[in-house]
Structure formats: C-alpha cells, structure tokens
Structure 1
Amino acid sequence: MALESFNLPLAFLFTSPGPILVKIGPITIRWYGLLIASAVLIGVSLSQYLAKRRQVNPDLLSDLSIWLVIGAIPAARLYYVLFQWAEYAENPERIIAIWQGGIAIHGAIIGGTLAALIFAKLKRVSFWQLADLVAPSLILGQAIGRWGNFFNSEAFGAPTNLPWKLYIPLERRPPDLANFEYFHPTFLYESVWDLMVFALLLTLFFRGLSGRPRLRLGTLFMVYLVTYSFGRLWIEGLRTDSLMLGPLRIAQIVSLSGIVIGLAGLAWLYINKRFLPDVVSPLKENGE
C-alpha cells in the first residue's frame, strides 16, 4: 500500500489550536512570542554553560545575547518584509506586527552575525569563539521557534495524505489550494532536522574538549551553516509560501550559498587557524 494512501487519526495531532495562548483583558499572549522568548532564554543558558566548559567568561555571552536579539529579530522581519513588499506596501501598519508571524531565519542569521562581529571587535574578543558557543543555541532556538509556524498555520508544504499531515484552516490556505485540507507539516520536518543538527554540534563540542577530534575555532559555526542549509534546501522545496525572486525560491538560493560558504569557511579555518588548545584559555586570550 502506498504511503500516501494512509489516513490515520494521527493527523489530528497536527491541528493547530490557534495563535493565541491566553487573552486576559487587553493582554494577549501569543504562542509565537512565547516560543521566541523561550528559545532566547534557553539559548542564553546553554551558551553560558558551553562557555564555562571552554573556560570562557559566561557573562560575555549574556552581553552578546542582547546584541543578538537587537540585531537578529529586526533583520529577520526586514528580510521578510522586503521580499513581500507588494503586500506590506498596501498595509504598512502590519510591518511591525511581528506577533502575526512573518520573520525569516536567514535574515536573523545575517543580522545576528553582523551584531556578533561588531560585538567581538568592540570587546576585542574572538568572533570565532563566540560563533562556536552560540551555534548550538541558535539551531536549538530554530527547532523551538518553528513550532510558532504550527500555531500560526503558516510555512506549510504541499497537500498530502500522509499520517502526519497538517490540517490548515480554509482562510490560511493558498487560493489555488483551497480545496485541500491537509498539507505537509514542513515546520515539523525542519524542527526535527534542527534537533539532529543540534545533537551533531553538541557531540562535536564535547569531543572537541577531549581533543578527539581536535577542532579549530569556528568549526562548529561552519558545520552549522553547512548542515542547516542542506536541510533547509530540500525542505523549502516542499513549501507553498516560499519567498520568491522571479521563478527562484530565495531560501534555496541562500541555503546553497550557506553550504558553499560553510565548506569554504571550514577549508579556510583549517588552513589558517590554529587548533583549540588542550585546555581552552579565557576568551580574551584566544584572539582571532
């Protein structure tokens, strides 16, 4: 029996309860905002823990987290709005309505990377060390944040009848797919992929502490770029709401670029950078 022919009750596990968690008078708490806040808090705690294991001052990661939020979230929104400008030009008041969804992780990565570069220069610390310590938290945050798409009934894939299909309300379906009820839960695919990348990065981190294998500063960040981009490349091909540049899916173009940059970055690091020492010294002594 073909896999697509299954029609099991499991499908109803992927029916969104809606974007609002709770509403008390004028106060509305949305799932999307709660998930982003949770991802930030968990990410900061994890980065601080990893910093301690590399004998790096964890307070630097607390300071950096503020820069990352300021750099990443506005950039993620700006990235999305620019590629959907025709829609937002008619409704400019919606540009700041980030709680309704519509942020792009690639914009967040670009904005966060720029913020980290500036922070590293001002603090005279190693950008590569910072990038390594943040990378596992970043991919874990992406895994958590993708569930915001579930609650908002967005970022789903093509119609499907698989057991893990996702029900999308009529008002959230593309006009040309209005007659279909169930779609690929691409938010779930990416969340699971991100968790696997997270496990890989943590494994490399802790094996690197023991010197097996011996890593160079920046390795984890470059591995993150390659592995996340590879997953996003194929998952994006299933989506129905991709940001487009003519006939091309922008996320796939950026993902291909991420794979190339990550592989080239790994080659560059291993040609030009020294290995992590057996006992990692404080951040300010590691240099770039």
Structure 2
Amino acid sequence: MIFFEDFSTFVSIGPFHIQWYAIVILCGACFAYFLGQYRFKQLGYDKEILSDYFFMLLFVGIIGARIWYVIFTFQEMYAANPMEIFAVWHGGLAIQGGIFTGLIYSYYFFKKHNIPFLVAGDAIMPGVLIAQACGRWGNFFNHEAFGGNVSLEFLQSLHLPNFIINNMFIDGAYHHPTFLYESIGNVIAFLLIIFVIKKLQKHIGVQFFSYFVFYGIVRFFVEGLRTDSLMFGPIRMAQLISIVFLIVGVIGIIYVHQKGQRVDEFQVE
C-alpha cells in the first residue's frame, strides 16, 4: 500500500489506484447527503428516506455527467479508443449533465414517495453547491479545468498557497486556477442561500431556484476563463446552459412567489 504515489493518486494498493478525484467527489457528495438528512428531519420527514435516494442519485449523476462530457469530446478523445469512455477515474465529468439526470431521477423518486418536489429541492440543492465545490478540487488534482495563461506574479498577488501556485504550472506556463474560482463561488452561493435566502424565504421552492440563479452566474463567468470548454460550434456549452439555469431560476422564483405554497402553510402528510 503506497499513499500519495503521485499528485493525483491518494493510495495505491498493488495494481489498484484510488485517485484524489474520487475522494473529493465522495466527500462532497457525503456532505450534501448528511445536510439533506438533517434538513429532511427538520421538515418532519424520516431522514433515512434519503439513504435509498442518495446512492442511486450518485450513480445516475455520474453517468449523466460522463455522457454529457463524452458527447462533446467523443471525436478528439474517445473515437480512437472507445473503452476509455468507461475510465471515469481519468477525469472527464461535465457536472451540468449530472444535474440534468439528477433532476429527472429526483422528480421520479420524490413523486413515488409522495414528497413535493420543491420541498425536497429546497432541502437538497444548497448542499449540491458544496458537492460541486469539492469536485472542483478533483479537477485540480487531475491538472484539468484550468484557465488561460497568467504570470507567476499574478498568482502570487492572489495570496495563494505555494502548492496551488506550483500546480498551476502546466505545459510550460502558469494558468488561472479556475477550479478555485468556481469552488469559492459555489461556497459563497451556498452560504447566501443558507443564511440569507432561507431566512427571507416565504414560499417553498425559493432555495431550489436560487441554486440555479447563483450557480448559473458563477459558472458563466468562470467558464469564460477556461481553456477546455465543451463547445457547440463557437458556443461554450457551459455558458449557454448557465444562461438557461439563470433564466429558469429567476422565472421559478417569480412563479413560486406568485402562485407557490407558503412555507408556513406546509405540513408533512
């Protein structure tokens, strides 16, 4: 057993390797899971209802994120070696694809368990921001999802620790640590939803739709700095989807304020 065999590997056991990428994604997912359990219990639901939901959601989300990534990179990365599609540990997850499949599965699951979708969304989606923030550190350990070239002086001016600065030196140049920008942005969005939006919320669904507003804004601007965006012709797909998220979020907030159920009127059936 060898720990930290290289920068991207957490532990090697014989021929098997556990990557930091997997560790940080699981840590983020577990945070979202336990926060969701706590918030479900606050609402009056059995917190254990999330146990079945969580493991299937994690699987569905990873599949969706992988499919979305492969769709837009198939020709240059997988056409010559299709078996590499299954090597998720090498990186290559597009979170927006995971969000789509996760939402579809969530709607099915909570409808089946007679839990209002927006109630569940308010309880779960803020924690997803922390899961995404953790996932970006997986990109860091894989030396991916970085931005354009910058100077060493620029990185030093951000007062970053040396281990981040040193590992932003990729292919002969220093790069924007876009993984860090998005990670910090997602944490700030989480704190705003939990400590501001939640306290001001009067209608069910506001936290859920606020996720799309904040994440859409953060991802749109960070994506503009990246060098490895998934493209649809001249369009950065992540920016296009971020605009869609922002519009959906704003419309959703307006809708629940006008026609949604009030928080103080909700009772668990």
- Normalized against structure 2, the TM-score is what? 0.89
Asked if the contact 1:153/1:168 (under 8 Å) is kept, the reply is: no
Which ranges of 4 or more aligned residues in structure 1 deviate by more than 6 Å? none
Report the counterpart of residue 169 of structure 2 in structure 1: 168
Report the counterpart of residue 62 of structure 1 in structure 2: 51
In 1: Cα distance, 2:133 partner to 2:120 partner: 20
User: Does 2:245 correspond to 1:258?
Assistant: yes
Report the counterpart of residue 195 of structure 1 in structure 2: 187
Report the counterpart of residue 108 of structure 2 in structure 1: 118
1:201 to partner: Cα distance: 1.6
1:205 to partner: Cα distance: 6.3
Report the counterpart of residue 210 of structure 1 in structure 2: none
In 1: Cα distance, 2:183 partner to 2:201 partner: 29
1:277 to partner: Cα distance: 1.4
Runs of at least 5 residues in structure 1 that lack an aligned partner in the other structure: 1-16, 171-179, 208-212
- Identify the match of residue 78 of structure 1 among 40, 61, 67: 67
Asked if the contact 1:216/1:276 (under 8 Å) is kept, the reply is: yes
Report the counterpart of residue 207 of structure 2 in structure 1: 220
Report the counterpart of residue 3 of structure 2 in structure 1: none
Structure number with greater CO (CA < 8 Å, separation at least 6) is: 1
Asked if the contact 1:64/1:119 (under 8 Å) is kept, the reply is: yes
User: Does 2:254 correspond to 1:267?
Assistant: yes
In 2: Cα distance, 1:67 partner to 1:271 partner: 34
- Normalized against structure 1, the TM-score is what? 0.83
Asked if the contact 1:204/1:220 (under 8 Å) is kept, the reply is: no
- Identify the match of residue 129 of structure 1 among 119, 123, 131: 119
CA RMSD, aligned part only? 1.5
Q: Per the alignment, do residues 214 and 237 of structure 1 end up closer, same or farther by CA in structure 2, a change over 3 Å counting? A: closer
The amino acid of 2:192's aligned partner reads L
Report the counterpart of residue 23 of structure 2 in structure 1: 34
- Identify the match of residue 177 of structure 2 among 185, 199, 205: 185
Asked if the contact 2:220/2:239 (under 8 Å) is kept, the reply is: yes
Q: Secondary structure at the match of 2:12?
A: strand
1:114 to partner: Cα distance: 0.3
Report the counterpart of residue 149 of structure 2 in structure 1: 159
1:65 to partner: Cα distance: 1.1
The amino acid of 2:55's aligned partner reads I
The amino acid of 1:168's aligned partner reads F
Q: Secondary structure at the match of 2:262?
A: coil
1:69 to partner: Cα distance: 1.2
Give the count of matched residue pairs.
252
- Identify the match of residue 230 of structure 2 among 243, 248, 257: 243
The amino acid of 2:215's aligned partner reads Y
Asked if the contact 2:229/2:236 (under 8 Å) is kept, the reply is: yes
Q: Secondary structure at the match of 1:84?
A: helix
Report the counterpart of residue 12 of structure 2 in structure 1: 23
Q: Which residues in structure 2 correspond to 1:39-58 (within 5 Å)? A: 39-58=28-47
Q: Per the alignment, do residues 67 and 272 of structure 1 end up closer, same or farther by CA in structure 2, a change over 3 Å counting? A: farther
Q: Per the alignment, do residues 214 and 190 of structure 1 end up closer, same or farther by CA in structure 2, a change over 3 Å counting? A: closer
> CA-to-partner distance for each residue in 1:89-110, whole Å, 9 max, x for gaps?
2110110111111001101110
Give percent identity, aligned residues only: 36
